[in-house]
Amino acid sequence: MESLKPTDVLDIERIQADFPILAREVKPGVKVVYLDSTATTQKPVQVIETMNEYYRRSNANIHRGIHVLAEEATALYEDARVTVAKFINAPAARQIIFTRNTTESINLVAQTWGRVNLNPADVVILTEMEHHSNLVPWQILAAQKNLQLEFIPVDAQGYLDLEVYRSLLDLNPKLVAFTQMSNVLGTINPAMEMTQMAHDSGAIVLIDGAQSVPHFPVDVQELGADFLVFSGHKMCGPTGVGVLYGRKKLLEEMPPFLGGGDMIKRVQLRSFIPNSIPYKFEAGTPAIAEAIGLGAAVDYLQQVGLDAIAAQEQVVVDYALERLSEVPGVTVYGPEAIDRGGVTAFNLDGVHAHDVAQVLDGDGVAVRAGHHCAMPLHDKLNIPASARASYYLYNSVEDVDKLIDAIYKVKKIFRL
């Protein structure tokens, strides 16, 4: 029986018109159906033109020059910081540190706060669904300082086992670090509850918001997060710029991450005095155009509306789960639609995920295949890889139909 197609929440045709790449034909007569936004999102013309305008009119280094171009560039860069701070409801713009990406943000915390505050035998709690970016930095630090890493398990439905989490908190951890939304399962974790539980046990909390901040409203004050990290390129912004939000007291007490220009107040031959936050953590010339582009991306997302984006993704992922369940031999990983974001990782019996992705690409359907930088989670699922379709504000229910048609083409090619 054919599925009853739901109605898109957003005007997808109008939104797609803002993204030049979505008009591209990957081969004659075949337009791209982009279902890989969990890896990186496409960029609207508003972001592209904002960055171009900076290079055309105001390109200069920031903070040090007194000429017109330098002052304009500095103002644009710092305005972007204010925009990002308001977007996540940070108490002050100086609590926003611009980094290269989520990965660098987590490494910054590990090698500054972690290096100073964690001692041999201290416990750090992570989860089995973490991206490598929220595993490897702590593994490196654990090896350096002889830390004890513990993990909240993932159950068969794709949820974290909060009962085990409660028992792990009895170990008096110094840090709990977890993703707000899994980049494989799509599971939206109860971040506020988990943060409160960690604080009650005396732990500091780092939340990986790479997959949450772009897709639904995230309020750091409501969450109570000590640190929140995310990337510009996953939220319609450019690559090369990410964000670390931190509590003011923690940031002020942390040592610098990198040494060089702009992160200092005074330098002598044998010593230096670090700058105040946020500049203490932004050594050297930063990604100026990229930060400005991120500010434009935030403006764009707010114009569309985060609640509307979340509602659109819910419609699309709910429909995708229904359609995928109709395809014989398809296994989808993760929870029900109500508890997941716009991600559907799946496998087709008898066909490797890479082969699935390659055949889909022939029909213009762009998905990701592999372990998605979450090898331990795939080990837990007892699979070497998965194909992953991920959705964003520019995806429609028609895109899901094209995905399903392409999967049936895989079955035909492999005679399944």
Q: Are 53 and 28 in contact (CB under 8 A)?
A: no
From the candidates 30, 327, 373, 383, give the one annotated as an active-site residue: 373
Cα separations in angstroms, 324 against 37, 78, 319, 403: 19, 45, 9, 9
Neighbours of 389 (CB within 10 A): 30
- Is 236 one of the annotated active-site residues of the chain? no
3-state helix, strand, coil in the chain (%, to 5): 45, 20, 35
Whole-number Å distance between alpha carbons of 56 and 78: 19
If we measure between CA atoms, which residue out of 48, 63, 172, 175 comes closest to residue 124?
Answer: 175
Q: Are 220 and 93 in contact (CB under 8 A)?
A: no
Q: ∠ CA 302-280-41 to the nearest 5 degrees?
A: 30
Indicate the residue type of 27.
K
The residues that are catalytic are: 373
